[in-house]
Chains A and B, each alone.
Chain A
Amino acid sequence: MSAIDTLTHQHRHCDEGFAACEAAVRQQDWEAARAALTVFCQDMEGHFTIEEQALFPAFESASGQRMGPTRIMRMEHQDMRELMEDMQEALLSQHADAFLGLNDTLLILMQQHNMKEENILYPMCAELLPDMAALISQDCHV
């Protein structure tokens, strides 16, 4: 499996957790929803960590760009972290409508972010970083 495939697979894996959590909330199965959200947030954080601590710094030094695309990706990671926090709060108060609203917002933000990474950033990283597979495997949690 190539480095791009590994990272894309992580996106899809997170998607599965996201869908499991949403399904549990729609069925008002709060226990299952809490468990699914915890796993989803951990998977997301693991993936962010790989990118922010291994992939992005390597890309920045190879391309000489610190204020370019990786800055935007980090900002979007932060937006997603905030939404996940809000979702956890909504889940704690068992507020299904609030949760599903945040869930939908996260879905769109997450998927347009994934689209940018999979279509543009990862292929450019693969071009610039011959050791990309080794870089991401050092800290692969998902």
Chain B
Amino acid sequence: MSAWLDYEQAPPWWLPLSHMVTAPCWLLLGAGLLAALPAGQVQRFQPEVLALTHLLTLGVLGNVMLGALWQLLAVAAAVPIRGPRWLLLSSYLPLQAGCAALVTGFWQGLSPGWLQAGAAMLLPALLSPALYGLHGLWRSPARDATSQGMRLALLSLLLTAVFGASMVLVLSGRLALPLPRLLDNHILWAAGGWLSLLVLAVARTVIPLFLITPAGQEKQVSPERLLAGLIGLASVSMLLGLDSLSVAMVLAVCLSLCWAVLRLLHGLLHSKRPSDPSRRGWQSACLWLLVAIGGIVTLQWRPADNILPVLSGWCVLAGFGLGAVLSMQGKILPFLVWLQLKLAGLPRRQLPATHDFLAEASHARLLQLHALWMLCGLAWLAWGKSIPLAMATLLLGAYWLWLAARVLLRHQRCLRQLPVQTGS
């Protein structure tokens, strides 16, 4: 236990930052793809829609979530991040290459070669942080809700990757398994497990601390454990082809998610820091998740509906997922560079405050652009016109990247003020 809590065991600032700066670049690429999208009503299994979905989940959300994960493992669970360069090589680089290959494969009408190349690179990209994190959490003395939630989220990431890779093998004719069951499981573990469990687990600690909300009463069964258990049961019933039980379990997952989100919303309503822009960001993210849950519940009675799955997916991934990570960006990104400069030895009077790296007004504007982007997405689903969404994506991605670049430029200017080291 000698090393835990030590800054030297925290990830070097460039590891989470690489992920966080890459995410808006993927969003910009998404704007280009949206602009090139053929006109017409959105179809759930349209190859271009599948390409855009994976660009959003892996390129944008995957990068930010993995970047935040490295930081959270160290801070919340005292997991030392050893070998950061190895992590960059084994996870960050294959994630970008794998995402590019997978998106190309989908865009080209499910091209087996590209999809297999994507899966081959994405497996190590996702399995290495999942296994690294699980191993670290296993040894960590932390037993709090966030650490437990991270364990469950990382297990979900493992299963998401395995189901995804299995689907690629089925699509390539290398494996004979029922594709719809694999697909349902892939979506269940990705959206309900990895994304929702990680965000909810982090929110349970981060919201009361940073927005100073009343602490919720500890329950015998944590919402994350309940959610993970229900997802597990839903997964098994789907794999066994027990349709009625699957529907019942999916509804139970929705109820459990609803309960967790309403608890968060209740806390946010009573925040002692109502002026912090991240409060509104979290509230919006929670509301988008509630809309998505409504869509998923309705879908159980209208399984042939074409728009409901896409609408629910848009609300979960773009509304809840990206909304939550953008809310957290306002705190994580400036603090990472502030801490790095402090540890580098920048004198106290020259060290800018976190608002000097990212002002509250800029963060609020970013969240407003996200809201506009969400509405353009809904218009795309309703009328099939992708150009407004492409423009909004370009605006959101460019502004996000510009903010990140400003943070880095300010950091560079501060570094030049460092006193020259006179070593022996």
A contact set with B: CB distance below 8 Å: 12, 15-16, 18-20, 22-23, 26, 63, 65, 68-69, 72-73, 79, 82, 86, 97-98, 100-102, 104-105, 107-109, 111-112, 114-116, 118-121, 123-124
Q: Are B1 and A15 touching (Cβ within 8 A)?
A: no
Q: Of B143, B147, B210, which one neighbours A108 at CB under 8 angstroms?
A: B210
CB-defined contacts of B3 to chain A, threshold 8 Å: 68
Contact indicator B355/A108 (Cβ below 8 Å): no
Minimum CB distance partner of A120 in chain B: B78
Chain B residue nearest in CB terms to A87: B353
Known: A15-B272, A123-B141. A116 touches B75 (CB 8 A): yes
Contact between chains at A105 and B2 (CB < 8 Å)? no
For B338, give its contact among A16, A105, A121 (CB under 8 Å): A105
Do A115 and B5 touch across chains, with their CB atoms under 8 A apart? no
Across the two chains, which residue of chain A brings its CB closest to B75?
Answer: A112
Cβ-neighbour of B144 out of A22, A82, A118 (below 8 A): A118
Give B1-37 as 1s and 0s: 1 = Cβ < 8 Å from A's Cβ atoms: 1111111000000000000000000000000000000
| A73, A109, A111: the one within 8 Å of B5 (CB) | A73
B331 contacts A119, CB within 8 Å? no
Q: List 18 A-B contacts (CB under 8 A).
A: A15-B209, A15-B212, A19-B273, A23-B272, A68-B1, A68-B6, A98-B353, A101-B355, A104-B353, A104-B355, A108-B334, A109-B335, A116-B5, A116-B75, A119-B147, A120-B140, A120-B141, A124-B141
The bracket for how many chain B residues form the interface is: 35 or more
The answer, yes or no, to whether B356 is at the interface (CB within 8 Å) is yes
What is the bound-complex CA distance between A102 and B142, given in angstroms?
30
A105 to B355, CA, bound (A): 8
Contact B355–A72 (Cβ < 8 Å): no
* A residues in contact with B142, CB < 8 Å: 119-120, 123
* CA–CA, A37 and B4, complex, Å: 32
Q: A65 to chain B: which residues have CB within 8 Å?
A: 2
